[in-house]
Amino acid sequence: MKKLIQDFPVQLEEALSIGKSYKFNTAKKEFANVVLTGLGGSGIGGSIVQNFVFDKLSIPFIVNKDYFLPSFVNENSLVIISSYSGNTEETLQAMKQALKVKATIICITSGGKIEKLAQKNGLDCIVLPSGMPPRACIGYSMTQVLFVLNAMGLISNSFEKDIKAAIKLLNTKSASIKTKARGLAKKLFGKTPIIYSGPAFEGVAVRFRQQINENSKMLCWHHVIPEMNHNELVGWRDKDDTRHVVIIRDEKDYKRTQMRMEINKKVIKKYAKGISELYSEGKSYWEKVFYFIHLTDWVSVYLADMRDQDAVEVKVIDFLKGELAKK
């Protein structure tokens, strides 16, 4: 896993190459909505893209993490199928439903049943390098979502230069990123991490939680500000030294959201062992996103080391899939 994280900037370069060289057969049209369906490491990129397009698209962009698509999906919908393995059963079922309602479908996968189904139905299918854990391939899959949206005329290609800038940033900041990650991992060791962010980086917060779950083999939770100010903040009532809060921050967070973050810190510090703040680096949204992803990925593997855990192993998920296969 460390090698995969170390090579993340290279992955982004390869992802750009894959996207730029792919020739789409799907014709542009006036879509009523966009639905990305995918789970886990294949779906979280969609959630981050959803944050990105929030103020850019004039049509809804929905991320679906279920066996079933929303009932509004029809021939006027663009459905992006994201499954790194190509065999995710929930995503396969949703894809079959999209075919049935004659939605426009574009697939992103490394192969499997989804690639075969795409070939059978003459669908665009961007094929990624195979053989890696899906969560370690977010750079490949998320970048292709942006290329799909651009090819369908929904966003500009400005993300390409932003990702190139992100690659340069990650390479330049490599040493400091690892130093920050080690420092935060030490603070989180033996604790329950609680992650907060503003709305623009909620997908990043979810990604961080997922990496702590899968790589570090730890429970963790996250919430978003201001929503948590209307519910979870009341739950901060009992002192517990096993909790450590991490706040993901950006100087462009809405000013009143930043005010809330500062007030929240005053409340939380009475009850939690510690509060850490991670500030973004870079100018563009994508520089900041990939900086956060790279930094928090390192945190998760350093925690795995401290806990003497194999960051790659996911035996319990394999067990779950095996039991499901018997039914």
Going by pLDDT thresholds of 50, 70 and 90, the confidence category of residue 250 is very high
> 29, 100, 269, 321: which is the annotated catalytic residue?
321
Taking residues 30-49, what's their average pLDDT? 96
Give the pLDDT mean for 273-289: 97
Kindly report, residue by residue over 148-179, the tens digit of the pLDDT.
Answer: 999 999 999 999 999 999 999 999 999 999 99
Q: pLDDT at position 231, please?
A: 97
CATH number of 2-156: 3.40.50.10490
Q: Which tokens belong to 304?
A: 């795995």
Rounded alpha-carbon distances, angstroms, from residue 251 to 46, 70, 248: 24, 35, 11
pLDDT, position 273 = 84
Size (the chain), residues:
327
Kindly report, residue by residue over 253-273, the tens digit of the pLDDT.
999 999 999 999 999 999 998
Q: What is the pTM of this model?
A: 0.95
CA Rg, the chain, in Å?
20
Residue 321 a catalytic site member: yes
pLDDT for 290-301, tens place per residue? 999 999 999 999
The pLDDT of residue 243 is: 96
Please identify which of the residues 90, 115, 202, 214 carries the catalytic annotation.
Answer: 214
Q: Residue 101: is its pLDDT beyond 90?
A: yes
- Residue 303 has a pLDDT of 98
Residue 193, both tokens:
């991490």
Mean pLDDT of 9-26: 97
- β-partners of residue 275 are 245
Q: What CATH architecture does domain 165-306 belong to?
A: 3-Layer(aba) Sandwich (3.40)
Residue 327 in this model has a pLDDT that exceeds 80: no
Q: Which of 3, 230, 255, 266 is catalytic?
A: 230
Does the pLDDT of residue 108 top 80, yes or no? yes
pLDDT at 73: 98
What is the overall mean pLDDT for the chain? Answer: 96
Task: Name every residue whose Cβ is closer than 8 Å to that of residue 278 and which is 6 or more positions away in sequence.
Answer: 180, 184, 246, 247, 248, 249, 292, 295, 296
Res. 87 pLDDT band, cuts 50 70 90: very high
**pLDDT tens-digit readout, 46-69:** 999 999 999 999 999 999 999 999
Residues of the chain within CATH 3.40.50.10490 domain(s) are 2-156, 165-306
CA distance 121 to 186: 50
Is 30 catalytic? The answer is no
